[in-house]
Structure 1
Amino acid sequence: MGNYVALTKPRIIELLLVTTVPVMFLAERGVPSLWLIVATLVGGTLSAGAANTFNCVYDRDIDALMDRTKNRPMVTGEISPRAGVVFGLVLTVVSTAWFVAFVNVASALLSLAAIVLYAVFYTMILKRRTPQNIVWGGVAGCMPTLIGWSAVTGTVGWPAVILFLVIFFWTPPHYWPLSMAFKDDYANAHVPMLPVERGAIAVARQIVAYSWVMVAVSLALVPVADMGWIYLIAALVSGGLFIGEAHRLLHLAKQGAATKVLKPMRLFHFSITYVTLLFLAVAIDPLVHLAI
């Protein structure tokens, strides 16, 4: 059972769920029903698990070439490709049925779209073909914001779209530092991640650009969703720190610093802190609304 759980990439699922529940609080402008939260989290976990399972099955050849992924169950042979596909299909069917039965049809369709976007659009089409793979392929990771909103309202509203865009612009400066740290792994597997195809300076410049746009978009939520001081301060402070980390990376890259000096994983880890703090503020602001 542990190997099947590993296929679903639980750590990634945790991050996806962090962006789901706060949006539900915002959509409700308060605390949604506990059952709806639980039902949405269960459905989201199953859905993300399905997408990640298909990814592990399809990428088993390149995972075998990378130190970071060589011990995954599909690589070691502990789970066969056929069993992996069946497991992914079961999770897809169950997650979709769960959303229809216990949340709503809109969330079910968005959940199914997220699976297809990640398993097909990113994994099968983009990942091995373009250095911009994580940019457009990252759309799948933005879907929890829409799912969280639709779970409460049955529709997709502009605040959810804004938060969707925040995650869209957050994904490259989140993932590219990881790719910089494991550049040799990706190169060995012939995966054209941006750090493999371009130098550290070029990558850092794009990270800085995306970081600025991400913060600007996050501030757009204030007028669109009538956010208060709690969210505004959180967005400004955490966003400012994020931009500072991005510029630190660019500064060191321009100096020709080696990877161990660049410490790209520092930005990677902070990006997780950033999105956690920002979405925590999204949840708290409607509860303790201090009007601007």
Structure 2
Amino acid sequence: MKKFSSQEEVIDIWLREGYEKVYDATSKDFQKVVTLEQFIELSTSFNKGVKNYQLETKTILQNLTHYVWLDDKREKVVVASFDELNQIQRFYIKPFIAYPETDQQYTKNKYIMPIRGEWFVFWGGTNEFVNYHYVYENQRYAYDLVKVQDGQSYQNSPIRNEDFYAFDEDIIAPADGKIVKVVDGIKDNVPGEMDERNAAGNYVVIEHANNEFSMIAHFKKNSILVKSGDTVTEGQLIGRCGNSGNSSEAHIHFQVMDSQDIVYGKSIRILFKDGNEPIQGDTISNK
């Protein structure tokens, strides 16, 4: 990196009004959208009253390194994404949205991830920058999981579902329970296309103890092996990963709710059996 000794120091230079230096490190695409004058004006206004910024998360995703910093009052957030050449591809600022009350309320049951083998957390965590679901009460603590090899979720080219490592992989029950809803028969999308009318695609809802309900979505068409009323045990095969619903590539959406209603039920932060709290960028597995 020519202008900085490390990516992490960018935030301090920016706070000390080194706006032009930071702007010079941004990509041409960024500079087409935001002029230097706009960048300085927005930055100056945003930094008023801020003493310092602390690193909240650092994740690596799709060949970009993403930094999320919060100010000392945890009211403002700065996000910067660097490419492999240390150029800033994304830099955005906004008020920080947090739900500390529900962040502290975990499920009463302990769960496992509904997967076999090694998977990658594409979305997950307790802020909207590592988990886009977070701002939606009915999905706040959901996870989107993909399979990755050498930094990519697909082999060859991302044209066919079969090119994606997650497609047709086993999906298992995250805990003992009873199947209360199954939707199947929805076709898998062509990669890059989405079916917004059937957002969850093919999905399963399982009722667990303590009035908790897990939902697993985006199954492969006609791959679900259970029906409403069936009892399942933790780790039992229930279907295969697909690309149905509001999905651009093969992945699994997993969440736990206080109701079987996927629209109006409230998402609950998941207590995992292994004690981990995975976030975006983490590799997870069930042995």
Q: TM-score range by the shorter chain?
A: under 0.3
When normalised by structure 2's length, the TM-score is: 0.27
Please state which structure has a larger fraction of its residues in strand.
2
Name the structure with the higher helix share.
1
